[in-house]
Structure 1
Amino acid sequence: MTTIKTAMPGVIYRRPSPEEEPFVREGETIEEGQTIALVEVMKNFNEVKADQSGRLTRFLVEDGDEVAISQDIAELED
C-alpha cells in the first residue's frame, strides 16, 4: 500500500467543480498521472496527480479540508 501526497498546502477539492462528479471514487482503478484532486492556493487550482497506477482504496481527507505540504491524502493499492 502506498499513499498519494500533496505537493503544496491549501484547500483540497475532490471534484473539478461543486456540480460535477469527483475525479475518482474510492475503489476505482487509476492510472499514473491521473488527476485525483485539486489543491487551491490563493485562488489558483493545482492538480494532484497519481504517481503510479493502482486501486484507490481510501481518501484520508474530505472535500474542502486544509492540507499541508507532503500530507497523505489517499491510499493506493498496487
Structure 2
Amino acid sequence: MGVFYRAPEPGAKPFVAEGDLITRGQQVAIIEAMKLMIPVEADASGRVLEILVADGTPVEHGQPLLTVATGDADRAGPGR
C-alpha cells in the first residue's frame, strides 16, 4: 500500500492532467511507500481520459490510477 501523488511536491503542477498526450515510460505520478517516493510511469502511449484516484489517496498494488485511450501504434492497455 502507498499514497498516490499527482505532482512532485505540494503546490507544483501535476505530472499529467486529463486530456494530456503521454508516451510509454513517461512519469505520470508518484507513489509514496515506506517513506520512499516511487515514480509511476505510463505503460502505454495515448491520451489521458480520466485520473481515477484523488491526490493524496492511499492505493493498493495493481490498482488502476488513470485511464488512457491508446492509438493503433500502442495496444498495451490502460496506463497504471
TM-score by length of 2: 0.84
Query: Structure 1: 5+ residue runs without aligned partners?
Result: 1-8
Please state if 1:17 is matched with 2:9. Answer: yes
Query: Structure 2: 5+ residue runs without aligned partners?
Result: 71-80
TM-score by length of 1: 0.86
Equivalent residues in 2 for 1:38-57 (5 A)?
A: 38-57=30-49
Indicate the RMSD between aligned Cα atoms, in angstroms. Answer: 0.7
Of Structure 1 and Structure 2, which has the larger fraction of its residues in strand? Answer: 1
Give 1 or 2 for the bigger CA radius of gyration: 2
Letter of the aligned partner of 1:29 in structure 2?
L
Runs of 4+ in 1 over 2 A off after TM superposition: none
Tell me the residue number matched to 1:29: 21
Report the number of matched residues: 70
> Kindly, what percent of the aligned residue pairs are identical?
43
